[in-house]
A and B are shown apart, each in its own frame.
Chain A
Amino acid sequence: MDSWRGNLRVFWTLFTPGTFWLLVFFLIPLGWLFHDSFSDKISITETEFTGTLANYIRAFDTVYLQIIWKSIWISFLATTFCLLLAYPIAFGICFAPARWKPLLLLLVILPFWINLLIRTYALIAVFRSQGYLNLVLGWIGLGPFEMLYNDGAVIMGLVYVYMPFMVLPLYATIERLDRSYLEASLDLGGSQFQTFWKVTLPLTMPGIVTGIILVFIPCLGSFLTPDMLGGANAIMIGNVIERQFKYANDWPFGSALSFLLMYVTFGALALRAYYAARSKGVDV
């Protein structure tokens, strides 16, 4: 690697465009958002910087606290279901015959490349009250059930959408797992359950933590899934932010909520970095 002083012309040519774009179209907008979160709203379109904390204090009103709490709870449940489903899947892929692995992995990843909106739309078509599932249930004399527009539908939608994020890190750690540990445990008389609980699970913890964070963060910040599947009574923090910017026109309050969401995100990332640093000796 060269020192940047070695070839200044090349360095600045390569350095400037990306730095410019990041600064002007990412960092400055975020800074502006931060600045506005301490502002007062003086008319429908204007805000004035006053250094007020009122927007943050308002976020801790009971109404909003409930929504924040509900967002965390829904994201927690969705992450848990993702983990419970994804772990056996990732495990199965790792122990599948080698020629099947790439295909199985592709099958897990592919939905992730399909537009989020289209996938959610496809779910609506299946689960709505005149949807395919109710049609099939109708043939055996059940239903129709109202399955959409409640918290359960939001959780199901989030699990459906973010599953690949959980499978991939789990796959990566399970694949690296030294199988002789498992054999040793089984040889020494451990049952399959004990082996899993005392050997496999602790050794794959880094992947579990990464997966949990990779799913939890987008769940917490999600806006489209609760908007489309949750109806009016399943709003999450993302929907409140959207409302402040699109309908209520209370941008300072929306800015404050966005920053609270970002702080939670950074907290989760710091937690991951902490675990990654701590488990360095274990997983390699």
Chain B
Amino acid sequence: MAETLKPSSGPLDYGNRLWLKILFAATFTALYAPIFTMIAFSFNTDKRGVIWRGFTWDNYVKAWNNSDLQEAMLNSLSIAFISTIIATIIGTMVALVLWRFRFPFKAGYEGLMALPIVIPEICMGVSLVLFFTKSGMMAWSVGMPWPLNLINIIIAHVAFCFPFVAVVVRSRLVGFNRQFEEASKDLGASEWQTFWNVIVPFMMPGLVAGALLAFTLSLDDFVITYFTSGPETVTFPVKVYSLVRRGVSPEINAASTVLILITVIATIIAMRLQAPDKVGEG
């Protein structure tokens, strides 16, 4: 690594160039100004939202009491919770099998596992809507009571989340010293005891990081949900989409702010969990 060179000042000290600083300031302003304006104006008393007229919590109260938004948010959170649990379990199993075993056509299998990560979202969305409609699952789920009517969306979310979980968990497993496993077995532990008492505690940070990644991916997804949701089911992004088409309102700002808060907190926790790991590796 080049860090030992530590540029102090001189021709390589690009960090101190004025033009670069200006570019940084401009880019970060452009990246964050729209988001911060949106958050700020969620506290605005003005209905049309352009001019600042005063601070209020009214928009949050209104968004909270809006039964459509409530239902959409509840759906989104339920979908995210359930698909996170399933995706984390399945993804971890995939990571374990790829980490532990040699088997025929392994490279091809790994390639297939990466496919949901790389293909365009819209292709996955339309292939799933076709599958659900033609297999009758769409028609079947529409008449189901909550939360069974969300089952297609949950299945779709698991399908695009678990390969991500597998990647994260596997990168954690790479650092595992297999002698611990052997020691555990030598001392008389069964396969299951070794797994539960040695491997699971070791991969816990990766597990939690993978789960949080799945959670944010699921909560944020619009395209795949838009295609796989039936005519009756609405999730938060789908609801916002239909509202935005009718115009900008402080209520959407408020609801969006809440969603941003949830994802940012989840992301920061995930990053904290992964950070010490990186130091240990380097």
In the complex formed, the residue of B with least CB distance to A92 is B20
Known contacts A118-B259, A122-B37, then 8 further A-B pairs from the complex at CB < 8 Å, ordered by chain A residue: A1-B100, A95-B13, A107-B28, A113-B216, A118-B35, A122-B34, A186-B12, A265-B119
Stretch at the interface among B44-52, B60-68, B141-149, B203-211: B44-52
A130 within 8 A of B: yes
CA distance A98 to B3 in the complex (A): 9
Q: List chain A positions with a Cβ less than 8 A from chain B.
A: 1-4, 6-7, 10-11, 13-15, 17-18, 21-22, 25-30, 32-33, 36, 85, 88-89, 91-92, 95-98, 104, 106-108, 110-111, 113-119, 121-126, 128, 130-132, 135, 160, 163, 175-180, 182-183, 186, 192, 217-218, 220-221, 223-224, 228, 238, 241-242, 245, 251, 254-255, 258-259, 261-262, 265, 269
Report the minimal beta-carbon distance from B34 to chain A, rounded to whole angstroms: 4
B70 within 8 A of A: no
CA distance A114 to B91 in the complex (A): 23
Q: Give the residues in chain B near A121, CB-CB below 8 Å.
A: 38, 240, 244, 248, 252, 256
Known pairs A116-B222, A125-B248; A21 contacts B159 (CB<8 A): yes
**Tally of A-B residue pairs with Cβ under 8 A?**
242
In the complex formed, the residue of A with least CB distance to B271 is A106
Report the minimal beta-carbon distance from B126 to chain A, rounded to whole angstroms: 5
Known pairs A15-B97, A92-B20; A221 contacts B35 (CB<8 A): no
State whether A26 touches B50 (Cβ < 8 A).
no
Q: Give the residues in chain A near B256, CB-CB below 8 Å.
A: 115, 118, 121-122
State whether B50 touches A21 (Cβ < 8 A).
no
State whether A265 touches B89 (Cβ < 8 A).
no
> How many residues does chain B have at the interface if contact means C-beta atoms less than 8 Å apart?
86
State whether B120 touches A125 (Cβ < 8 A).
no
Return the contact of A3 from the options B32, B101, B116, B118 (Cβ within 8 A): B101
Q: Give the residues in chain B near A258, CB-CB below 8 Å.
A: 122-123, 126-127
In the complex formed, the residue of A with least CB distance to B19 is A88
Q: Give the residues in chain A near B248, CB-CB below 8 Å.
A: 121, 124-125, 128
B189 within 8 A of A: no
Q: Give the residues in chain B near A179, CB-CB below 8 Å.
A: 2, 5, 7, 12
Report the minimal beta-carbon distance from A117 to chain B, rounded to whole angstroms: 5
Interface string of B13-44 (1 = CB under 8 A from A): 11100001001100110111111011001000
Q: List chain B positions with a Cβ less than 8 A from chain A.
A: 1-3, 5, 7, 11-15, 20, 23-24, 27-28, 30-35, 37-38, 41, 48-51, 89-91, 93-94, 96-97, 99-103, 112-113, 115-116, 118-124, 126-131, 134, 155-156, 158-159, 162-163, 166, 191, 216, 219-220, 222-223, 227, 237, 240-241, 244, 248, 252-253, 256, 259-260, 263-264, 267, 271
In the complex formed, the residue of A with least CB distance to B106 is A4
State whether A32 touches B90 (Cβ < 8 A).
no
Report the minimal beta-carbon distance from A14 to chain B, rounded to whole angstroms: 4
Q: Give the residues in chain B near A245, CB-CB below 8 Å.
A: 126, 129-130, 227
State whether A262 touches B14 (Cβ < 8 A).
no
Q: Give the residues in chain A near B240, CB-CB below 8 Å.
A: 117-118, 121
State whether A221 touches B31 (Cβ < 8 A).
no
Report the minimal beta-carbon distance from B29 to chain A, rounded to whole angstroms: 11
CA distance A17 to B259 in the complex (A): 31
State whether B127 touches A29 (Cβ < 8 A).
yes
A and B contact pairs by CB, cutoff 8 A, 21 listed: A3-B103, A6-B101, A18-B113, A21-B159, A25-B128, A32-B127, A91-B20, A96-B15, A110-B264, A113-B263, A114-B35, A122-B37, A125-B37, A130-B48, A130-B50, A179-B5, A217-B118, A221-B122, A245-B227, A258-B127, A261-B123
